[in-house]
Structure formats: structure tokens, C-alpha cells
């Protein structure tokens, strides 16, 4: 089976302006095309990731398909999931049509075409079947309730303290030129889903990101090779799940590692980019990926351990853009690793769904001198 190469990668932020979803995604795609030395007519098909309920409009990809070069192409594929799931779909599309150039992109603006009240109400309705008693009504962040329960069970099982989690979030918030939130500020902020507090949550941001995939890179240029990819979904119903572990990421990692030939991730993986919207998701994903033992994530992530996990802070530093954040993290990691003297093995992960019930993982071998 041919390998899928990352031909080009691009990133775009609002930079203080007020661009539309379409404009921002166009900028990211244009940057990816320039990176690959290609033009729009080189794109064979396109895959987008977006959430209608976040953007406040149905068929949200119809407003951005042209931006990514998908108009009048044999494509109309949108995944209503995190961007890592879109990369997985893009890999499948590239393998199904060897030599095609597949554009995979996502965009999200923190101020969508709807009110905050509407967004909250839609979240409440989305999570309503998950709960067995009416505790959602009026919740400031319905999604955080599920992650609060995950944090509570994990911390009770492993003895992780609130200070431990706040320290991790504080460190991540100050990396990559982020705005630091001190441990004291985090612990003194309002509780939204105990033990999670308001400042545990990564701040919203505006970002678009695009990667171009192909089994036969035009001009022979490759930023990296996707050695393995996996995705998985578990039961969304919280009472049926072990909330102390990230089962979806564990299943996805198992498939990605098998395809990539990874037997000892601690020894073989050079860098990991993990979702860390709430902090607890980073701890559980690290263990699910086999990069720390059960309950050992806090110790493994201490600064003196030297494990390259979210070195630029990920969403806690750069901000959270649902659907686009994991693709953006992948692009940033490719840019940084492309400046290093040798190839590196990068693992990227993202979650979606009720309480992170679905996850996708990619193993990428990056190429030196590509940035």
C-alpha cells in the first residue's frame, strides 16, 4: 500500500481583524499551496471539518468548500468532528485515488453567527440524552460537566491533586507566547464543573489550518509521511464508561501504532501534540497513548522529565477552535520539527463528541529541512 505524504501545510489567524470563515480558510489553503509550490487547480478533492452547532448554521461546510479549492470537484465531504478525524478521512481519500492531491482543512471563529445563549442551548440539547437526571439546564458550559466528571474520577483514583492539574494548565498557558494564567488565578476562578474551574478551560480563538495530502507529491516535495492513523468512538453514555481512562484515544492509538510499526512509544515517539482543552484531557490522552503509566501522567509531564508533549502549550496557549485546533497543532509541529537536523516521529491526537467519546490519532514521520 502506498504511503500518504503531507505535501504542504498552512495556517492563518485573524490577526486582530474580522475575516469571515471563508476568508480565513482561504488564507490557510493559499499558504499550504504556496508551501507545496502548487496552484488551486492541482487540488483533486477536499475534506473539511466543522460543527454546525458551533458555527450556528446548517451545512456549514457549504460556506467554506470554495475556500479550500473544492468547488466543482468530486467532493462534498465534511466530518462533523475534530480536525484529526478529517485528516483520517483525507488519508482514506488519498489512498482511494493514488496521485490525487487532497486538501484537508478547518476553520473556526470564536464569534460565530449566533448568540452565546443559542450556543449554550444547543449544547444543552446535545448532551440531554447523556444525563440520567436534569442537571444541565442553565449550566455555563454543558460540555465541561462531562470533563469535570472525568477529572473527578481520575483524580480520586490516582491521588492527583487540584494543584497538580492547575500547575499543568498554568505551564501550558504560558508556553508558545501564550497569556499565562497563574496557579492561584486558576484555583480562585469560579467552579464550572468541579474540580474544573473557569480558567482551566482553554480560551477561544480564531484560526484556520490546511494540509495537502498525496501518495505521489507533485514535484516530490513532502513535509512528512503519515505512517499510521486510527480513529475510534466509544459509547457516549457516561454511566457505561470508565471515566478515569480515555478509551477512544487508546483504541485509535492501537490502530495507528500497529500501522506505523510502533511497539514502544516512549522510546520511538519524539513529540506528541495532544488536545488539552480542559487539562484533564491531556493527562488521560498521554496515558492512552502509552506515553505514561496509568496515573503517571503528572509525573511524566514534569519539566525535568524531558518528554516533548505539547511543548508550545497546544490549545491552552494558542486557544481552542473546535474542529480546527488539532490540524493547527499539526501544522505548527511540522514547522518546528522541519527545522531540526533529522527526521522525527510525531504523534497528534484530537477528540470530539460527548465528553470526548470519539478520538483520532496520527503518526507522522517528519522530514528535515522542509521549513
pLDDT at 145: 85
Spatial strand order of the sheet with 344-352 comes to 77-79, 45-49, 102-108, 207-214, 4-13, 224-233, 358-366, 344-352, 271-273
Q: Which residues have CB under 8 Å from 115's CB, separation 6+?
A: none
Q: What's the whole-number average pLDDT of the chain? A: 88
What is the SS3 assignment for 17? coil
Residue 263, phi-psi category: left (phi > 0), alpha (psi -120 to 50), beta (remainder) = alpha
213 DSSP β-pair partners: 6, 102
How far apart CA 199 and CA 8 sit, in angstroms, is 35
pLDDT at 271: 95
pLDDT at 118: 66
pLDDT at 163: 96
pLDDT at 102: 95
Question: Which class for 219: exposed (0-12), middle (13-18), buried (19 or more C-beta within 10 A)?
Answer: exposed
Q: What is the DSSP string of 93-111?
A: HHHHSTT--EEEEEEE-SS
CATH pick for 4-112+204-214 out of 3.90.1150.10, 3.40.47.10, 3.40.5.50, 3.50.50.60: 3.40.47.10
CB atoms within 10 A of CB 100: 19
How far apart CA 302 and CA 313 sit, in angstroms, is 14
- Ranges of residues in the chain whose predicted pLDDT is under 70: 1, 56-58, 61, 75-76, 111-122, 124-140, 306, 368-371
CB atoms within 10 A of CB 137: 9
CB atoms within 10 A of CB 156: 11
pTM of the predicted structure, to 2 decimals = 0.92
pLDDT at 70: 75
Domain boundaries, the chain: 4-112+204-214
Amino acid at each position: 500500500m502506498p504511503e500518504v505524504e503531507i505535501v504542504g501545510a498552512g495556517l492563518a489567524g485573524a490577526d486582530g481583524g474580522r475575516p469571515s470563515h471563508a476568508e480565513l480558510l482561504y488564507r490557510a489553503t493559499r499558504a499550504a499551496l504556496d508551501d507545496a509550490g502548487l496552484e488551486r487547480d492541482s487540488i483533486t478533492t477536499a475534506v473539511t471539518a466543522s460543527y454546525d452547532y458551533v458555527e450556528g448554521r446548517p451545512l456549514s461546510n457549504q460556506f467554506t468548500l470554495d475556500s479550500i479549492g473544492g468547488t466543482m470537484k468530486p467532493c462534498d465531504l465534511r466530518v462533523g468532528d475534530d480536525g484529526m478525524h478529517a485528516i483520517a478521512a483525507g488519508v482514506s481519500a488519498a489512498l482511494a485515488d493514488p496521485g490525487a492531491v487532497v486538501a484537508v482543512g478547518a476553520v473556526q471563529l470564536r464569534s460565530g453567527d449566533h448568540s452565546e445563549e443559542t450556543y449554550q442551548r444547543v449544547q444543552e440539547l446535545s448532551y440531554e440524552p447523556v444525563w440520567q437526571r436534569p442537571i444541565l439546564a442553565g449550566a455555563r458550559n454543558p460540555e465541561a460537566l462531562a470533563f469535570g466528571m472525568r477529572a473527578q474520577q481520575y483524580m480520586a483514583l490516582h491521588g492527583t491533586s487540584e494543584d497538580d492539574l492547575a500547575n499543568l494548565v498554568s505551564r501550558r498557558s504560558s508556553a508558545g507566547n501564550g497569556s499565562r494564567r497563574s496557579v492561584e488565578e486558576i484555583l480562585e476562578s469560579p467552579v464550572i464543573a468541579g474540580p474544573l474551574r473557569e480558567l482551566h478551560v482553554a480560551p477561544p480563538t480564531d484560526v484556520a489550518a490546511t494540509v495537502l495530502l498525496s501518495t505521489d507529491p507533485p514535484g516530490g516535495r513532502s513535509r512528512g509521511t503519515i505512517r499510521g492513523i486510527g480513529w475510534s468512538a466509544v459509547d457516549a453514555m457516561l454511566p457505561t464508561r470508565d471515566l478515569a481512562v480515555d478509551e477512544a484515544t487508546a483504541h485509535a492509538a492501537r490502530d495507528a501504532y500497529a500501522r506505523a510499526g510502533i511497539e514502544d512509544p516512549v522510546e520511538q515517539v519524539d513529540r506528541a501534540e495532544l488536545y488539552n482543552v480542559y487539562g484533564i484531557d491531556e493527562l488521560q490522552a498521554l496515558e492512552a497513548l502509552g506515553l505514561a503509566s496509568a496515573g503517571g501522567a503528572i509525573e511524566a509531564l514534569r519539566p525535568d522529565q524531558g518528554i516533548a508533549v505539547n511543548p508550545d502549550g497546544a490549545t491552552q496557549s494558542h486557544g481552542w477552535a473546535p474542529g480546527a485546533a488539532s490540524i493547527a497543532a499539526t501544522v505548527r509541529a511540522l514547522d518546528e520539527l522541519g527545522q531540526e537536523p533529522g527526521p522525527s516521529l510525531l504523534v497528534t491526537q484530537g477528540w470530539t463528541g460527548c465528553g470526548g467519546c470519539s478520538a483520532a490519532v496520527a503518526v507522522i514521520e517528519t522530514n528535515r529541512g522542509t521549513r
